[in-house]
Amino acid sequence: MGTVSVHGLCKSFGEVQALDGVTLDVPDGAFFVVLGPSGAGKTTTLRAIAGLEKLDAGSVHLDERDATGDTPAARDLAMVFQSYALYPRHTAYENIASPLRARRCSSSEVAAAVEQVSSLLHIERLLQRRPAQLSGGEMQRVALARALVRRPRAFLMDEPLTNLDLKLRVEMRTELTRIHRSLGGTFVYVTNDQVEALSMADQVAVLKEGKVQQVGTPTEVYERPANQWVAGFVGSPRISLLACHVEGDRLVGAEGWTLPRPRWTTVEDGRPLLLGVRAEDLSVEQRGNASLSGELYGLEPLGDRTVVDVRVGTKILKVKARPTVTGTPGERLLVTVDLDRAHLFDADTGLALSEAGR
Ligand SMILES: Nc1ncnc2c1ncn2[C@@H]1O[C@H](COP(=O)(O)OP(=O)(O)O)[C@@H](O)[C@H]1O
Ligand SMILES: [Mg+2]
């Protein structure tokens, strides 16, 4: 068993409310990602689970037992920090072995466990080096190995890939999912990188200003964002948002455009809304009758695709296009909108409109 549940976590640091009623349920064996921008309360949430933070309110349950008052050691969790925090004078081997030595394992048990985790992380040939003789990526692997050498109730990881260069980050994403599959433990993984979250998680909790915005699978969070903020934070290029309202069978933009009213919505006329459309649901090739007129603002070639920036009124829409697309800034363009895949948000609350009928 390795379930982790927190309920109603609140924590202030002076004026700053770092956590404002955080509730999460992490199932046994999950790769659970807490995603949010810097300052959202991710580290504080992990520290609360680990028992390193005194809470103003709320409870922590481990394996369905109330552990709120337990010491960090009694919780039996392994934490990987963003900084590697290796012992500088010890070899990689000694660093990895240290949690087992602290638990007085025999040296043959230690050797077997270090060997196993080193092969999982492909660091066998680094074991006799000291941290100063390792690259950043190698140190990160050693720090991960030190956490993974034990079989704790759950692993808590605080942005463990942040200090790596892009190529290594991408590699380690795949590695970590592979390690999770082969170890089978519960991972609570914190990141501000939405690509990391979408590519690694079974479940994502999106956190903003100490409040959980949405919990769901990566697909749910991407395809059915609970509110305008989640829609904007998850996905690259950023979702385009346009102020509008419904009038009969038309969607009327604040900037003067009109589109057919999406079939799936039953919202009343006149209510202030935001239409949200992702770049892949917009097209500069003409197909269908739902289109907006704008002018080419810029082209962003990304190799496998080009993002076309189109100005509609005062707004810039991000449109995903073929890499061969060409154009001159200022030329008129029609942008086709896939309304079946578009989102509508209440402009006042930011909440997604219910999507009955989709
Ligand atoms: N020990 C502390 N003292 C004062 N403020 C803190 C402390 N720890 C965190 N905070 C504040 O609480 C908020 C949440 O911090 P944190 O949990 O570290 O966010 P994240 O990990 O998502 O970037 C931030 O505004 C941060 O400045
Ligand atoms: Mg943090």
Residue 81 Cα to ligand 1 midpoint, Å, equals: 15
Task: Point out the ligand nearest to the CA of residue 37.
Answer: 1
Residue 52 Cα to ligand 2 midpoint, Å, equals: 14
Whole-angstrom Cα distance, residue 347 to residue 321? Answer: 29
pLDDT at residue 286 greater than cutoff 90: no
Mean pLDDT of the chain: 93
Q: What is the pLDDT of residue 163?
A: 75
Nearest to 343, CA basis, from 330, 353, 332: 353
Which amino acid, 261?
A: R
For the CA of 158, the closest atom of ligand 1 is 21
Give 93-101's long-range contacts (Cβ < 8 A, gap of 24+).
Answer: 93/127, 93/128, 95/131, 95/142, 95/143, 95/146, 96/127, 96/142, 96/145, 96/146, 96/149, 97/149, 98/146, 99/146, 99/147, 99/149, 99/150, 100/149, 100/150
- What CATH fold (topology level) applies to the domain 4-226? Rossmann fold (3.40.50)
Whole-angstrom Cα distance, residue 275 to residue 288? Answer: 18
Whole-angstrom Cα distance, residue 304 to residue 133? Answer: 38
Q: Does the bond joining 218 to the residue before it have cis omega, within 30 degrees of 0?
A: no
Q: Which CATH number fits domain 232-346: 1.20.1250.20, 3.40.1370.10, 2.40.50.140, 2.102.10.10?
A: 2.40.50.140
pLDDT, tens digit, for every residue of 81-128?
Answer: 877 789 999 999 999 999 999 888 899 999 999 999 999 888 999 999
179 close to 121: Cβ distance less than 8 angstroms = yes
pLDDT at residue 27 greater than cutoff 60: yes
For 130-280, strand residue ranges (E) read: 154-158, 187-191, 203-208, 211-216, 240-247, 250-253, 258-260, 273-277
Nearest CA to ligand 1 atom 14: 41
Element (H, E) at 141: helix 136-148
Q: What is the pLDDT of residue 82?
A: 76
Q: Is 0.85 surpassed by the pTM of this model?
A: yes
Residue 39 Cα to ligand 2 midpoint, Å, equals: 7
The pLDDT confidence band at residue 356, using thresholds 50, 70 and 90, is low
Return the domain boundaries, the chain. Answer: 4-226, 232-346
pLDDT at residue 67 greater than cutoff 60: yes
Q: What is the pLDDT of residue 354?
A: 73
Ligand 1 neighbours, Cβ below 6 Å, are: 13, 16, 18, 36, 38-44
Distances from the Cα of 330 to the Cα of 215, 295, 310, angstroms: 42, 5, 9
Average pLDDT on 288-309 reads 93
pLDDT at residue 10 greater than cutoff 90: yes
Residue 159 Cα to ligand 2 midpoint, Å, equals: 7
For the CA of 46, the closest atom of ligand 1 is 17
pLDDT at residue 357 greater than cutoff 60: no
Backbone angles phi, psi at 90, to 5 degrees: -100, 150
pLDDT, tens digit, for every residue of 47-58?
Answer: 999 999 999 999
For the CA of 192, the closest atom of ligand 1 is 22
pLDDT, tens digit, for every residue of 121-148?
Answer: 889 999 999 999 998 888 988 999 999 9
Among 40-44, 167-171, 339-343, the range scoring the smallest mean pLDDT is 167-171
Nearest CA to ligand 1 atom 13: 18
**The token pair that represents 227 in the structure block:** 């509110």
Whole-angstrom Cα distance, residue 282 to residue 315? Answer: 14
Nearest to 67, CA basis, from 147, 145, 160, 1: 1
Percentage with pLDDT > 90 across the chain: 82
Q: What is the pLDDT of residue 19?
A: 98
Three-class secondary structure of residue 232 per DSSP: helix
Percentage with pLDDT > 70 across the chain: 99
For the CA of 210, the closest atom of ligand 1 is 14
Residue 58 Cα to ligand 1 midpoint, Å, equals: 18
pLDDT, tens digit, for every residue of 320-329?
Answer: 999 999 999 9
pLDDT, tens digit, for every residue of 145-169?
Answer: 999 998 899 999 999 888 778 888 8
Task: Point out the ligand nearest to the CA of residue 38.
Answer: 1
Q: What is the pLDDT of residue 358?
A: 58
Average pLDDT on 166-179 reads 88
pLDDT at residue 310 greater than cutoff 90: yes
